[in-house]
Amino acid sequence: MERSYVIKPELGKTYPVISHGKGIYLYDKEGKQYIDGCSGAVTALIGHAVDEVVDAMYEQAKSISFAYRSHFSSDAVEQLGKKLAEWAPGSLNWTFFVSSGSEATETAQKIAIQYWQEQGNFTKNRIISRWMSYHGITMGALSMSGHVLRRKRFVPLLEDYPAITGPYPYRKPEGLSLEEYGMQCANELETAILRVGPEQVAAFIAEPVIGATAGAVVPPPGYFQRIREICDKYNVLFIADEVMTGMGRTGKAFGIDHWGVVPDMITIGKGMSAGYTPMAATIVTEEIIEVIQKGSASIMAGHTYSANPQSAAVSLAVLNYIEKNNLIEKSAENGAYLLQRLQGLADELPLVGEARGLGMLCGLEFVKNKQTKETFALSENVSAKVIAKAFEKGLLVYPAVGGIDGVAGDSVILAPPITITQEEIDTLIGILKEAIEAVSQELQQKALI
Under the binding rule (CB under 6 A), the answer on residue 331 touching ligand PMP is no
**Amino acid code (one letter) for 230:** I
Residue 101 as a binder of ligand PMP (CB under 6 A): the answer is yes
Closest approach of ligand PMP to the CB of residue 117, in Å: 24
247, 322 contact by CB (below 8 A): yes
**Which C-beta is closer to ligand PMP: that of 94 or that of 134?**
134
Q: Is 391 helix (H, G, I), strand (E, B) or coil?
A: helix
**Please, what is the minimum distance in Å from the beta carbon of residue 213 to ligand PMP?**
9
Query: Closer CB to ligand PMP, residue 272 or residue 449?
Result: 272
* Nearest residue (CB) to ligand PMP, 357 versus 380: 357
**How are beta strands 361-366 and 280-285 bridged, if at all?**
unpaired
Indicate which single residue of 244, 351, 352, 413 sits in contact with ligand PMP (rule: CB under 6 A).
244
What percentage of the chain's residues is helix, strand, coil (to nearest 5)?
Answer: 45, 15, 40
Q: If binding is defined by CB under 6 A, does position 449 make contact with ligand PMP? A: no
In DSSP terms, 128 is beta-bridged to 204
Q: How far apart are CA 397 and CA 417, in angstroms?
A: 12
Q: Is 347 exposed, middle or buried (0-12, 13-18, 19+ CB in 10 A)?
A: exposed
Inter-residue contact 98 to 108 (CB < 8 Å): no
Contact 368, 374 (CB under 8 A): yes
Give the HSE-up count for residue 112: Cα atoms under 13 Å, Cβ half-sphere.
32
If the CB atoms of residues 36 and 241 are measured against ligand PMP, the closer one turns out to be 241
CB-neighbour burial class of residue 426 (10 A; exposed 0-12, middle 13-18, buried 19+) = exposed
* Contact positions with ligand PMP (CB under 6 A) in 109-168: 134-137
CA-derived radius of gyration, the chain: 22
Nearer to ligand PMP, 92 or 436 (CB): 92
Rounded least distance, CB 278 to ligand PMP, Å: 8
d(CA 95, CA 108): 11
Write down the least CB distance from residue 169 to ligand PMP, Å.
19
Q: Of 208 and 424, which CB lies nearer to ligand PMP in the complex structure?
A: 208
User: Does 243 interact with ligand PMP (rule: CB under 6 A)?
Assistant: yes
| Region of 69-77, 87-95, 100-108, 218-226 interacting with ligand PMP (CB under 6 A) | 100-108
DSSP 15-82: PPPEEEEEBTEEEETT--EEE-TTHHHHT-TT-B--HHHHHHHHHHHHH-S---TTT---HHHHHHHH
> Which region, judged by CB under 6 A, interacts with ligand PMP, from 65-73, 176-184, 238-246, 285-293?
238-246
Pick out residues in 164-203 that bind ligand PMP (CB under 6 A). none
Stretch that binds ligand PMP, among 101-109, 291-299, 347-355, 379-387 (CB under 6 A): 101-109
The C-alpha atoms of residue 435 and residue 387 are separated, in whole angstroms, by: 8
Q: Applying CB under 6 A, which of residues 166, 182, 211, 246 lies at the interface with ligand PMP? A: 211
Question: Does residue 402 interact with ligand PMP by CB under 6 A?
Answer: no
Q: Site for ligand PMP (CB under 6 A): which residue of 241, 257, 410, 424? A: 241
- Count, residues near ligand PMP per rule CB under 6 A: 16
Q: Which of residues 39-68 bind ligand PMP (CB under 6 A)?
A: 41
Nearer to ligand PMP, 100 or 419 (CB): 100
Q: What is the number of the residue whose Cβ is closest to ligand PMP?
A: 101
23 near ligand PMP, judged by CB under 6 A: no
Closer Cβ to ligand PMP, 106 or 188, answer by number = 106
Q: Is 269 in the site for ligand PMP (CB under 6 A)?
A: yes
Interface residue with ligand PMP among 100, 109, 273, 315 (CB under 6 A) is 100
Is residue 240 within the footprint of ligand PMP (CB under 6 A)?
A: no
Nearest Cα to 259, choosing from 358, 192, 362?
358
Q: Which is nearer to ligand PMP, 117 or 357 (CB)?
A: 357
Interface residue with ligand PMP among 39, 74, 95, 102 (CB under 6 A) is: 102
Alpha-carbon dihedral angle through residues 143, 145, 147, 149, given to the nearest 10 degrees? -20
Of 110, 163, 187, nearest to 402 (Cα)?
163
Query: What does the alpha-carbon distance between residue 408 and residue 388 come to, in Å, rounded to a whole number?
Result: 21
State the CB neighbour count (10 A cutoff) for residue 30: 8
- Applying CB under 6 A, the span of 28-36, 205-213, 323-331, 381-389 interacting with ligand PMP comes to 205-213
Q: Which residues bind ligand PMP (CB under 6 A)?
A: 41, 100-102, 105, 134-137, 207, 211-212, 241, 243-244, 269
